[in-house]
Amino acid sequence: MTVFDMAEVSLRELNQALHDATDGEFEVVNPRGAHAVASGIDSEISVTIDGPVGYYCAGMHQRGSVQVNGNASAGLAENIMSGTVRITGSATMSAGATGHGGLVVIEGNAGARCGISMKGVDIVVGGNVGHMTAFMAQSGNLVVLGDAGADLGDSLYEANLFIRGSVESLGADCVEKELRPEHIETLRQLLAAAGMDADPTDFTRYGSARTLYNFHIDDIDAELAGGAS
Amino acid sequence: MTDWHQRESYSYDRNVIAEIRRAANTGIYRIRGWGAKRELPTLDDLVLLGASMSRYPLEGYREACGTDLTIGAETAENPISLDIPITIAGMSFGSLSANAKEALGRGANAAGTSTTTGDGGMTPEERTHSATLVYQYLPSRYGMNPDDLRKADAIEVVVGQGAKPGGGGMLMGQKITERVGEMRDLPVGIDQRSACRHPDWTGPDDLAIKIIELREIVDWKVPVYVKVGAARPYYDTALAVKAGADAVVVDGMQGGTAATQDVFIEHVGIPTIAAIPEAVRALKDLGVHRGRVKLIAAGGIRSGADVAKALALGADATSIGTAALIAIGDNDPAYDDEYRQLGSAAGVWEDFQAGTDPAGITTQDPTLSSRLDPVIGGRRLANYLQVLTLETQTLARACGKSHVTNLEPEDLAALTVEAAAMAKVPLAGTSWIPGET
Ligand SMILES: Cc1cc2nc3c(=O)[nH]c(=O)nc-3n(C[C@H](O)[C@H](O)[C@H](O)COP(=O)(O)O)c2cc1C
């Protein structure tokens, strides 16, 4: 286990060391809210961060695992490709934004726009999520054990949203959908992977009504011409 | 001579009437490609003041007139080096065919300049064919991949585009083929409307942190640009500098687009001639003009005259979209019959959004795109870039400059009061700059 004390080591030195590593375990102490901690990791290393982190912790994470023992600010694990990012506390806005793959686990709450534009990532939130969660979410699964704020899943594409608690309001084109056996199985696997104890059948699934996928274009002239012939 | 009672209406001319009828028939705004088509103040409203008694010109063919530019020398381990002050602007694979992207890469390589990805990610072919490739980081993050980020020679954070400051990208269903849909993780055939705001940052303070993250991920190897559509260029440029950009790309309202609402193209933003001086003022106020932060001006750059005037106003380089597409074959008269079958004609065709491009450039149709020979297209673009460079040098030498970026506002005069006010150079034959002198 290699330990980096951010009271002594700069962000640049830390990230460069993590980028240069090909395997092993690393511990980061005294992060003191620094931004971009452990961003851009692309090897099978495991990093534990003890304390609060700022923006973009584990940003663009590609492989290996990052665990934050504390809270995180905006853009936790933004654009994650694969691997795992776990946080024991809460995350502010845009956690897991645009993630293409991998697993993000937030044991506490997530703020606004959690999973915004997600593109294949799986996100599991132990607590509640804020407004505009999964805005324009394209694919992947979002699991929320608590409640969801206003405008859940606005302008949603093909992502699945599973909410156990209440939903303040649904965003444009987001509708409640049937929880079929394959969804229960997905949920079961995700809850197990996240280490969360919940009954998959307690969740409600939300998805896209797909009414915003294409512009609605009228053509009165063609209709009249067709009628005449 | 027409009868008085049959005279044309100025307010409701035939174009206006046709558009009202089109809107009434379809119930949808017009979405199209190209850039603003109405008459706008342009760099044509400026002239260069060649040397005479009080200034000393350089010999046209004999004396050196440098055209090179370096971006990011202070921050990046591998700065960008350009041989000419003209770059190829961001245009995505998706909006353009793979052959068109290849042609742009080949032409840019031959001329010693960069190309740019677009809203939809980087294709392997594109990386192969462009020696210097700028990777756009856009609100949609379609196809955004840290591996590609690390392969890029520079990163361009796109805040906005001249054709639509404040608007997001669009790609109509005809162009969301399987490959494009897969790259963007979208269902095939949907009308893609990209986000207009970045998903994980909201203001200039956040952007500063975002730029640090990007630099950390690429280990501070490459420069970071910020691209803005020209609306409030003084503040946008100042904030981009504060956020840590190595270059600011300011795209005027004439700037081209693959697909945008006509009302946006024609009515939002300010012209390039008005935008450059304001961006330069910001750079000067912050003490970085012609220094740490470079200014790249785009939007309606068509000739070496435009390049020279943009540089004289204070830009360090220019960027071209529409002109590059025309150079590789867009609006080719050889396809006039086909343009007419589409209800248009060679020379006025603007339907980049439709995917039906007879010249095979703005399409994903394999048959159409096979019409564009990327090697020939690349040669045409290289020739065109050479002409732009030679023209720029000709004008710079005439003004006595041994490097094109030595051109300055003092080398310019305006032909109209409006241009004098916007460009902040004197009306020709006077020392009058409206609002200043
Ligand atoms: C077909 C096409 C596609 C474009 N795609 C993008 C894009 O993906 N991202 C972007 O920032 N700008 C895009 N633009 C705008 C150009 O990058 C550039 O700002 C503009 O073309 C400059 O103006 P000009 O066309 O008059 O040279 C596109 C323009 C065209 C014509």
Question: Which site among A117, A139, A208 would you substitute to test the B interface, given the most B Cβ atoms closer than 10 Å to its Cβ?
Answer: A117
Q: Is the pLDDT of residue B204 over 90?
A: yes
The three-class DSSP label of residue B249 is: strand
**Domain membership flag for residue B250:** yes
| B26 touches A: beta carbon within 8 Å | yes
ipTM confidence score = 0.96
Interface of B with A in 270-289 (CB under 8 A): none
Instruction: Give B-chain residues touching A60 at CB under 8 angstroms.
Output: 146, 149, 217
Predicted local distance difference test score (pLDDT) of residue B35: 97
Is ligand 1 within 6 A of the CB of residue B358? no
- Asked if B359 and B332 count as a contact pair (C-beta separation under 8 A), the reply is yes
CA distance A60 to A100: 9
- Asked if B86 and B391 count as a contact pair (C-beta separation under 8 A), the reply is no
Query: In the structure encoding, which two tokens stand for residue A215, read together?
Result: 């512009």
Q: Is the pLDDT of residue A227 over 80?
A: no
Between A and B, how many residue pairs show a Cβ–Cβ distance under 8 A? 110
Predicted local distance difference test score (pLDDT) of residue B193: 83
Beta bridge partners of A3: A27
CA distance B414 to B49: 10
First to last CA, chain A: 80
**Domain membership flag for residue B22:** no
CA distance B414 to B394: 20
- Which run of H or E residues covers position B263? helix B262-267
| B195 touches A: beta carbon within 8 Å | yes
The three-class DSSP label of residue B229 is: strand
The CATH number covering residue A223 comes to 2.160.20.60
Q: Which of B28, B140, B216 sits opposite A15 (nearest CB)?
A: B216
**Domain membership flag for residue B340:** yes
Question: Which site among A119, A173, A210 would you substitute to test the B interface, given the most B Cβ atoms closer than 10 Å to its Cβ?
Answer: A119
- Which run of H or E residues covers position A29? strand A23-29
| B213 touches A: beta carbon within 8 Å | yes
The percentage of chain A sitting over the pLDDT mark of 90, rounded to a whole number, equals 96
Best CA proximity match to B209, nearest among B219, B221, B201: B201
Which domain covers residue B64, as residue numbers?
Answer: 31-423
The CATH number covering residue B102 comes to 3.20.20.70
Predicted local distance difference test score (pLDDT) of residue A17: 98
Q: Which atom of ligand 1 is nearest to the CA of B299?
A: 23
Cα separations (Å) of A209 from A114, A150, A175, A190, B192?
A: 20, 18, 6, 24, 16
Best CA proximity match to B152, nearest among B179, B199, B115: B115
**Domain membership flag for residue B17:** no
**Domain membership flag for residue B254:** yes
Cβ of A220 within 8 Å of Cβ of B25? The answer is yes
Predicted local distance difference test score (pLDDT) of residue A101: 98
Q: Measure B114 CA to ligand 1 centroid, in angstroms.
A: 14
Best CA proximity match to B436, nearest among B298, B316, B281, B289: B281
Is ligand 1 within 6 A of the CB of residue B119? yes
Number of domains in chain B: 1
Tokens 């705004």 belong to residue: B29
Give me the mean pLDDT over the B166-174 stretch. Answer: 85
Question: Mean pLDDT in chain B?
Answer: 96
Residues B282-309: tens digit of each pLDDT: 999 999 999 999 999 999 999 999 999 9
Cβ of A217 within 8 Å of Cβ of B28? The answer is yes
Antiparallel, parallel or unpaired: β A23-29 and B192-193? unpaired
Predicted local distance difference test score (pLDDT) of residue A229: 46
The three-class DSSP label of residue B339 is: helix
- Which run of H or E residues covers position A28? strand A23-29
Q: What is the pTM of this model?
A: 0.97
Predicted local distance difference test score (pLDDT) of residue B437: 82
Give me the mean pLDDT over the B197-211 stretch. Answer: 96
Query: In the structure encoding, which two tokens stand for residue B405, read together?
Result: 């970026």
Residues whose CB falls within 8 Å of the CB of residue B218, separated by 6 or more in sequence, listed in order: A40, B149, B150, B152, B155
Antiparallel, parallel or unpaired: β B317-320 and B31-34? unpaired
A220, with CB counted inside 10 A (0-12, 13-18, 19+), is: exposed
Give me the mean pLDDT over the A20-40 stretch. Answer: 98
Residues B225-282: tens digit of each pLDDT: 999 999 999 999 999 999 999 999 999 999 999 999 999 999 999 999 999 999 999 9
Give me the mean pLDDT over the B373-384 stretch. Answer: 98
- Note the helical H segments in chain A: 11-20, 181-194, 220-228
Substitution candidate for ligand 1 out of B226, B250, B257 with most atoms within 8 A of CB: B257
Q: Maximum Cα–Cα distance for chain B, whole Å?
A: 73
